[in-house]
Amino acid sequence: MRTLDDPPRTAELVVVGGGVVGAATAFEAARAGLRPVLLEARPALCTLTTPVAAGAFRLQFEDRDELELVRRSVEVFLSFEEATGQDRYRLGVRQQGYLWLTTTEEGAARQRELVERLHAWGQSDVELLSGDEVRARFPYVGPEVVQARFRAGDGFLDPKALTFGLVEGSGADVVPRCRATGFRLEGGRLRAVETTRGMVGCEAAVVACGPFSGILAAGAGVRLPIEAVRRHKLVLPDLPLVPAEAPMTIDEDTGVHWRPAAGGAWALFTDPATPPSEPTMDVPTDHRFAFDLLDPGSPHALARVVPFWRRVWEHGAWNWLLQAGQYDVTPDHRPLLGRTGVEGLLVHAGYSGHGVMGSVGGARIVVDDLLGKLAPEDNPFRLDRDPRAVPPPTL
């Protein structure tokens, strides 16, 4: 990784966006023999959306295509220093599992059906646990839980270390404080990326700037079905009530989830009713989010299935802080990967909340498409797919 004061006049490949998705794109491009230049609008990489992520990965998906994509990412996560050829940034993988809890028979039936499908797709290490089995293994789980699904191999990682390690491994030239503003086209082909600090001549570029991807692509006449949806992360450091060895724990009936982090926990939830908002570099926080999760009287309370969160609320003196970012959401909640109608211009965006875990696998698809190694019919995430073909996931 080399940081430049000014963008180069030409580049073999320009990647727009310095979060984890752009970093993964640069990494996979370099592995394929390309020399990427990474443009980031802000003064430093990984400072907007990626740091607000849950920092976790799982192989429990309702969609087989996305499962296969994340499997490719996890292969890199589990051998990160070796795969990236660097040891400056260590991923800190902790395979503590993902535990999905339900309190209803309807939820239990859906879990049984999904676990059966996952086993058929080769993910045979996903377990179904009865309520009593859950509490025997995870004593903090409440009596309301009737069943859970669990995979011990799922886990946590540091999303900032992931981003910087991928860029370091790519050897990319990085240009901070350089916002891409548009593209120069000739005869339907990309010729350059326009930026706030000059033009970068190129014949290939990847739009990988999260919620801003739709705005940027529109400058080339490419419409991306992406909406920005605000998400929050509640950070509760130094909270000894949280078991440090706990898995990611999800109330599958509500979507509320938490994981051990920073000596305490990170808690997250995005209400499906949250309306889209304009992409912004300054995502505002809403104090009501913390109360929605911490107040036991809330329908989205953490205490609904894990009683020790009631004690956190009753004690009252624990510190917390809020972070906010934006999901880049597509109609079917699947990413947009690959070619656009402009020759040489590709997209890597639209993860709808799964960008950290999908980043490397998605980047491989984008780079293969760029190099002509992937037929359109073999890319289930291509931009011209029918968004109605796959039902949106429940979480």
Q: How far apart are alpha carbons 92 and 214 in whole angstroms?
A: 33
Residue type (1 letter), 311: R
Q: How far apart are alpha carbons 168 and 37 in whole angstroms?
A: 12
Query: What is the DSSP secondary structure assignment for residue 104, as one 8-state letter?
Result: S
CB atoms within 10 A of CB 255: 15
The torsion defined by the Cα of 92, 58, 48 and 256, in degrees rounded to 10, comes to -110
**Which pair of tokens denotes residue 334?**
């699947």
Contact status, residue 326 vs residue 49, Cβ threshold 8 Å: yes
Given a cut of 70, is residue 391 above it in pLDDT? no
Residue 11: φ, ψ to 5°: -155, 150
C-alpha torsion sign, points 269, 274, 279, 280: negative
Contact status, residue 55 vs residue 339, Cβ threshold 8 Å: no
**pLDDT tens sequence across 122-161:** 999 999 999 999 999 999 999 999 999 999 999 999 999 9
Supply the pLDDT for residue 3.
Answer: 96
Percent of the chain with pLDDT over 90: 96
Supply the pLDDT for residue 89.
Answer: 97
Q: How far apart are alpha carbons 44 and 177 in whole angstroms?
A: 8
Mean per-residue pLDDT, 89-106: 97
Q: How far apart are alpha carbons 5 and 198 in whole angstroms?
A: 12
Mean per-residue pLDDT, 239-265: 97
Q: How far apart are alpha carbons 109 and 209 in whole angstroms?
A: 38
Supply the pLDDT for residue 53.
Answer: 96
Supply the pLDDT for residue 175.
Answer: 98
With a CB cutoff of 8 Å and minimum separation 6, the contacts of 277 are 228, 229, 230, 326
Supply the pLDDT for residue 394.
Answer: 57
At 388, the pLDDT band (50, 70, 90 cuts) reads low
Mean per-residue pLDDT, 55-80: 97
Classify each residue of 225-239 as buried b or exposed e, where b means 16 or more C-beta atoms within 10 Å of its C-beta.
Answer: ebbbbbbbbbbbeeb
**pLDDT tens sequence across 264-323:** 999 999 888 899 999 999 999 999 999 999 999 999 999 999 999 999 999 999 999 999
Task: For tokens 């809020």, name the residue.
Answer: 322
Supply the pLDDT for residue 92.
Answer: 93
Q: How far apart are alpha carbons 69 and 358 in whole angstroms?
A: 6
Q: How many residues does the chain have?
A: 395
With a CB cutoff of 8 Å and minimum separation 6, the contacts of 351 are 21, 327, 328, 335, 358, 359, 362
Contact status, residue 142 vs residue 307, Cβ threshold 8 Å: yes
C-alpha torsion sign, points 52, 58, 62, 64: positive
Supply the pLDDT for residue 272.
Answer: 87
